[in-house]
Amino acid sequence: MKVIAEFTLVPVGTGVSLSPYVAECEKILRDSGLKVQLHANGTNLEGEWEALFAAVKRCHEKVHQMGAPRIFTTLKIGTRTDKDQTLEDKVASVKEKFQDPSERKPRE
Amino acid sequence: MKVIAEFTLVPVGTGVSLSPYVAECEKILRDSGLKVQLHANGTNLEGEWEALFAAVKRCHEKVHQMGAPRIFTTLKIGTRTDKDQTLEDKVASVKEKFQDPSERKPRE
Amino acid sequence: MKVIAEFTLVPVGTGVSLSPYVAECEKILRDSGLKVQLHANGTNLEGEWEALFAAVKRCHEKVHQMGAPRIFTTLKIGTRTDKDQTLEDKVASVKEKFQDPSERKPRE
Amino acid sequence: MKVIAEFTLVPVGTGVSLSPYVAECEKILRDSGLKVQLHANGTNLEGEWEALFAAVKRCHEKVHQMGAPRIFTTLKIGTRTDKDQTLEDKVASVKEKFQDPSERKPRE
C-alpha cells in the first residue's frame, strides 16, 4: 500500500536544540529509498507502507542511541484507492486553483 | 520497541458519519493484542512497534474495503528508554500533581 | 463557533518529566469554562472557539513562565454545521456500533 | 506571542477532492499578513498568535460556507522564548548539519 506521510520527530529531555537529532534522522530517511521533502515543521514522505514505517523506526532507534531518553513523534498518513498521487501532485492540485497575487500579471 | 500511541483515522470522500468506519477499526485494534482505549478524538494504543503499525495498516485496508476512497490518519508515537510507562501511568503522573476542584473536600 | 478539540503540549529543553507542566496547564483548562477530559495522550476539549484558543495560549504562557524555553503543541480541531455533537456523543456513536467482547454475554 | 505553525484542514462529508476547499483557505491565509508556505501535507505559518488563529477560524467559516458539513483540522504550534526563529531558520538549522548526498562533490 502506497502512503503519503508527514513525519515530525521531537526529542524530549535533551537540550533546546533539536536539529542535530533531526539531521541524523534525515540521513536515515534519504537512505531509505522513500521520496523525502524536508520542510519547516516536518518531513514529507512518499513510498510503500513497510519501507516508510521501518525508516521511522530506525529514526527512533538512532535518536535514542544519540541520548534522547524520550521521543514524541507525530505522523500524518494518507492512503487512497481512487488514484495514484504524488507529493508534487498534492501541491499542484491546490496551486492550480489558487493564483498567488504576487504571480498575477498586471492588466494592461 | 514499546510504543505508546494515539491513532485517529478520518475517512474522506464518504458521508458525514464516520463512526461505522471507526467501529470496524476498533474491532481490528481489539483483536490485535494491543492495549486499546477509545476516547472522543482517537484511540490510545500501547504495545510493540510492529504489532501496532500492522494493526493500523489493517485498519486502512478495511476502511478502503468498506468503500472509503481516501483516508487521512494522524498518529502520535511516544517511545522512551528511561523507564517503562503505561497509558495509565501517563494519566496518573499528571493527576497526582493536579487535584480536581470537584474532588476537593470542603474545609470544616 | 463550537469546537471539539484535542490538545497535547510538549515542553522542549526541560527534563524528561513533563507532567509538572501538563498539570499546570490542566488547571488553566479547568478554570476556562471549557469541558475538559484528560487522557493518556492529551486533553479533549469542548467549547467556543475564542475561549478554547485563549486557554491554549494561557497554557503556553504559563509553561514558558515555568522555565520551558520551547513548546511543541499539537491540536486537532473539529467543527461541524450539520449537528451539535459533544465529546460524549463521539464516543457513544462508535461504541453503539461496536460491542466490546469483554461485555458480551456468554451463550447459554 | 510569535508562533510557528503547521495547519492542515480536511473537509469531511464532501467529495474525494479537497483541493477546492484548501485553495480557498490558502487565499484567506495569504490575505492575513502571516508568512505562508504551502507544502504537500499542509501549510506552514509564521506570525502573531491572534492573527494566526483568527485566520484559521476564517478558513473554517469559509469551508463550511462552501458546503462542507464537517471539518477536521490538525495544527502544530511552536513557541519559544530563547530566540526568535523563522520558518527558513528551522530548515537551515537541519540542512547545515546534513549534507545531501546529491550535493556532495566527488573527491578528486
Which tens digits make up the pLDDT trace of A53-79?
999 999 999 999 999 999 999 999 999
Of C16, C69, C74, the CB nearest to A12: C16
Asked if the C-beta of C72 comes within 8 angstroms of chain A's C-beta atoms, the answer is: yes
* Residues D51-81 pLDDT 10s: 999 999 999 999 999 999 999 999 999 999 9
- In chain D, the residue whose alpha carbon lies closest to the alpha carbon of C59 is D79
A vs D: CB pairs below 8 A: 89
CB atoms within 10 A of CB A69: 16
Q: In the prediction, which pLDDT does A108 show?
A: 43
Q: What subunits make at least 3 CB pairs under 8 angstroms with D?
A: A, B, C
Q: Which three cell numbers stand for residue B58?
A: 489493517
Contact D44, D6 (CB under 8 A): yes
Say how many CB pairs under 8 Å bridge A and B: 73
Give yes or no for residue D5 having a pLDDT over 60. yes
Where residue C101 falls among pLDDT bands split at 50, 70, 90? low
* C13 interfaces chain A, CB cutoff of 8 Å: yes
In the predicted model, residues of chain B with pLDDT beneath 50 are 104, 107-108
Looking at CA atoms only, how far is residue A105 from chain B in angstroms? Answer: 36
pLDDT at B98: 76
Distance from CA of D108 to the nearest CA of A (A): 24
Can you point out the beta strands (E) in A13-102?
35-39, 42-48, 70-80
ipTM of the complex: 0.89
Q: CB pairs below 8 Å between A and C: how many? A: 22
CB-based contact, D70 to chain B, within 8 Å: yes
Angle, vertex CA B67, rays to CA C77 and CA A7, nearest 5: 45
Confidence label for C21 from pLDDT (cuts 50, 70 and 90): very high
Task: Report whether D100 contacts C31 (CB < 8 A).
Answer: no
Mean pLDDT, chain A, as a whole number?
91
Asked if D70 lies within 8 A of C60 by C-beta distance, the reply is no
* Smallest Cα distance from B58 to chain A, Å: 11
C76/B74 Cβ within 8 A? yes
Q: Which of C13, C57, C74 sits opposite D49 (nearest CB)?
A: C57
| Phi, psi of A59, deg, nearest 5 | -60, -45
Query: How far, CA to CA in Å, does C27 sit from each of B98, C15, C16, C38, D12?
Result: 7, 21, 21, 11, 33
For chain C, the average pLDDT equals 91
* Residue B22 contacts C, CB cutoff 8 Å: yes
Contact assignment for B80 to A57 by CB distance below 8 Å:
no
CB contact under 8 A, A18 and C12: yes
Decide if A82 and B61 are in contact by the 8 Å CB cutoff.
no
pLDDT score at B16: 87
Cβ–Cβ under 8 Å, residues D47 and D3: yes
Q: How far is C64 from D79, CA to CA, in rounded Å?
A: 9
Write the residue in B64, B72, B77 that is nearest to A81 by C-beta: B64
Chain A CB within 8 Å of residue C69 CB: yes
How many angstroms separate the CA of residue C50 from the nearest CA in chain B? 20
What single-letter DSSP state applies at residue D69?
S
Residue numbers in A near D3 (CB within 8 A): none
**Average pLDDT estimate for C67-86:** 96
pLDDT of residue D15: 86
A106: DSSP letter: P
Q: Is the pLDDT score of C44 beyond 70? A: yes
For residue B8, the chain A residue with the least C-alpha distance is A76
Please check whether residue D2 is in contact with residue D84, taking contact to mean a CB–CB distance below 8 angstroms.
Answer: yes
Kindly indicate the confidence band of residue C98, based on its pLDDT and cuts at 50, 70 and 90.
confident
Length of chain A (residues) = 108
* Chain D nearest C-alpha distance from A12 (Å): 14
